[in-house]
Amino acid sequence: MYREFVSLVHKSTPRDYISRVTQRDKAEVAELALKWDYDYWDGSRETGYGGYKYDGRWRKVADAMIATYDIKPGMRILDVGSGKGFLLHDFMEACPGVMVSGIDVSSYGVEHSLESVKAYCQVCSAEKLPYPDHCFDLVVSINTLHNLYNYELHSALKEIQRVSKEKSYVCVEAYRNEREKVNLMYWQMTCRAFHTPKEWAFVFSQAGYTGDYEFITFE
């Protein structure tokens, strides 16, 4: 089912698409970003987030997910692509007693996770999750899967399906027209999978993913 969670925060960020490709060599920038290190998280805005600091913006997303999926204390949540653990922290604050786990390919991101959740995060690929079948009450993945090549994406979606009991949600970048495609290509630095919503639906189907999803676009 299509859900809107990330849309609650996505459009709050101003974006200058043209300057993204004119202020610095885009290929050089992408190579730095794909190391998933300091430059991506805490370097300049040219190479990533420009300093990814906790500001509480993900709390409204956590609140909406908890209400939608009826999350209760004692339930287990996994974030695939947890970054610095901001969403996990907000889950714990919004629902005291919930059990969280996070994985990310970025050693830097995990090392610099919020202290409240660092012990629950580990460096790992989404293609092979180190958890038994059906062990999480909710699995989420936000703005992560489009950074995988198609063959990696297929495996990651199958893994999300495998470790979730029933409820899961993924958010990926997409484009619906040529303007949005160009804006996406201008803005992104780490994207490997460029798909329309219909193409994403096909990818989900091929991988056997039956959970919820959302697309963010760059208008």
Proportion of the chain above pLDDT 90, given as a percent:
84
Q: Which long-range contacts (CB under 8 A, 24 or more apart) does 20-27 make?
A: 20/186, 20/187, 21/186, 26/189
Q: What is the largest CA-CA distance in the chain?
A: 49
Torsion of CA 78, 189, 153, 84, to 10 degrees: -10
When pLDDT is averaged across residues 154-163 and rounded to a whole number, the result is 98
The pTM for the full model equals 0.94
Nearest CA-CA partner of 59 in 84, 91, 82, 83: 91
Range 160-178 average pLDDT: 97
137 close to 180: Cβ distance less than 8 angstroms? no
Task: Give the distance, in angstroms, between the CA of residue 26 and the centroid of all CA atoms in the same chain.
Answer: 22
What digits encode the pLDDT tens for the residues 46-103? 888 989 999 999 999 999 999 999 999 999 999 999 999 999 999 999 999 999 999 9
Q: Which helix (H) or strand (E) segment is 103 a member of?
A: strand 99-104
Question: In whole angstroms, what is the distance from residue 192 CA to residue 152 CA?
Answer: 10
Calculate mean pLDDT across residues 147-172: 97
pLDDT tier at 206, thresholds 50, 70, 90: very high
Domains and CATH numbers, the chain: 7-216 (3.40.50.150)
Give CA separation, 66 vs 9, 62, 146, 211, in Å. Answer: 16, 6, 24, 16
